[in-house]
Chain A
Amino acid sequence: MGVQTADRPAPRAAPSRAAPPGAGGLSLAFDRVGKRFGERLVLSAVSLEVAPGAFVAVVGPSGCGKTTLLRIAGGLEAPSEGAATVGGDGGGVSFCFQEARLLPWRTAEENVALPLELAGVGERERRARARAALAEVQLGDRGDAMPAELSGGMRMRVALARALVTRPRLLLLDEPFGSLDEVTRHELDDALLSLWRASGATALLVTHSIAEAVYLAEEVVVLSRGPGRVVAQSDVDLPVRGPEARATRAFQDQVVALQRALAAGAGRGGP
């Protein structure tokens, strides 16, 4: 995993401030991407452009190929048709999986330091950066804990810290909080939002929760039931951001509109 430092601003000072310009974010483009596993077509001619520094969410029913789309973006799968292009030199991409995927024999801090260690970053620097990343996900005091000693939400925070410790320019998030309870999930959504703002990275999130997509993203893309294709694409326009947003009329309206689009794409009536 490449470590971008030269073209990045100095370490973030105030994570909750407004976003810095997306200078660090990589662009991402899918051009008529299709994917089949054997006979089964899971993605059909998906075209999508993600601007540098943007936060885009992909929603769709189970089995619509949204995870596959993300894996193609990360280079974990090759498309059967079309192409996925990530800007930059191929470095600076971070993945956050559905599961935390922590090494059980390493402490939280050692887990966060792992990508730096594998990239050859020196011990002192990687420890300092791992500690800082843990502090950003509010786990600054649990660096010495083993994964088995942490709750599911804490383990996901560690995974998020590990994804961010390399200062990625493109963050690929595969339903990272899907297995957590709602309160923890909302907390982590807020943590993710402020970290993304501070980082200036481009983010592509896959989720089955429309509310989560609307809460986090600037743009939501709806995929149809498999084979997945884009059935709707809509900019999120909220008068307020943050925890209060969920209670606003605008938030509810957009969730409902996207639910309709999703239902239509799933082949159950609609315009």
Chain B
Amino acid sequence: MRRTLAALGPPLAVVAAALLAWQGAVSILRPPEYLVPGPIAITRAFLDDAARLTGAMLRTGLAAATGFALAAAVGVTLGSLFAASPFLRRGVYPLASLLQMVPLVALAPILVIWFGYGGRATVASAALVALFPVLANTLDGLRSVDAGLAEMFGLYRASRWDRFWKLGLPWATPAIVTGLRVAAGLSVIGAVVGEFVSGFAGERAPLGIVILAALREARTDLVFAAVGLSAAVGFLLFGAVSAGGWLALRRWHPSTR
């Protein structure tokens, strides 16, 4: 706990100094507020609209978390299947990596066509960007199982199932955790992009729509507040995944020491 606090100290000090410098520069130079609002103006914009913004953050966070969970489940499953089947690995995996090259922003309208406007397209968009790192890391982790341990399981005449559950999956867990951490950040990007294209305006608007609406009204302070909140969503998701990974690995993996 003390070590955690000590680790948090320096970055918090840097953030505080940056905010102070920012506010100082805005107070002295007085740029037009629609161009660069200061931290105080942004905070005021948030407080004036706190209920709506918090609701938007929750909706975006829920969509990102759902997309992330889908990506995690599908990614680990597909990665395991690809590791087990040379045919799938050679036949499907290269295509899956190619799919990764398609820009999400270009793909998002298609998701709207398939899933309609609203939350489902957002979740699909979040899941789609988060999927690949999980899949690739699961596959790499399973493929890098120590040859000596694999040979030993062969000597014990372990079943395929036992080899997977008792050797492959634990061995791949550090790599999977790395993939999940990358996916956590990506899922928030995917959710906001999905909302840009598919979200509804109004009382129940998600962060992506709040950003677009504020932009149209030249409410730059509100844009900054919403962007800050979407970053907070990413932070929370990333933190939760990191904490989960730490719990899973703390007893044995050097990365947790």
CB-based nearest A residue for B248: A105
A118's partner among B149, B158, B170 (CB-CB below 8 A) is: B158
Structural contact, A99 and B252, CB atoms closer than 8 A: no
Contact A103 B251, beta carbon cutoff 8 Å:
no
| Nearest chain B residue, comparing its CB with the CB of A166 | B156
Q: Is A61 an interface residue (CB 8 A)?
A: no
Residue of B nearest to A117 (CB): B166
Contact of B148 with A by CB under 8 A: yes
Residue numbers in A under 8 Å from B252 (CB-CB): 104-105, 146-148
Cross-chain contact A76 with B170 (CB below 8 angstroms): no
Q: Which of A1, A74, A115, A118 has the most chain B CB atoms closer than 10 A to its own CB?
A: A118
Q: A105-B252, A148-B252 are in contact. Are A99 and B148 (CB under 8 A)?
A: yes
Name the interface residues of B150-164: CB closer than 8 Å to any CB of A.
151-159, 162
Binding site for A on B (CB under 8 A): 148-149, 151-159, 162, 166-167, 170, 173, 251-254
Cβ-defined partner of B156 (8 Å) among A76, A105, A118, A146: A118
Closest B residue to A95 by beta carbon equals B155
Nearest chain-B residue to A1 (Cβ)? B156
Q: Mark A57-89 against chain B: 1 for CB-CB distance below 8 A, else 0.
A: 000000000000000001010000000000000
Please state if A118 and B162 are interface contacts (CB–CB under 8 Å): yes
Q: 16 other contacts beyond A76-B155, A95-B155, A147-B252, with CB at 8 A cut-off? A: A1-B155, A1-B157, A95-B152, A97-B148, A97-B152, A99-B148, A104-B253, A105-B170, A105-B173, A105-B251, A115-B156, A117-B166, A118-B156, A118-B159, A146-B251, A148-B252
C-alpha spacing A115/B162, complex, angstroms: 11
- Asked whether, in the complex, the Cβ of B148 is within 8 Å of the Cβ of A118, the reply is no
Task: Give complex CA distance A90, B154 in Å.
Answer: 14
* Cross-chain contact A118 with B151 (CB below 8 angstroms): no
Say which residue of A1, A99, A103 sits within 8 Å of B170 (CB atoms): A103
Measured CA separation A1–B152 after assembly (Å) = 11
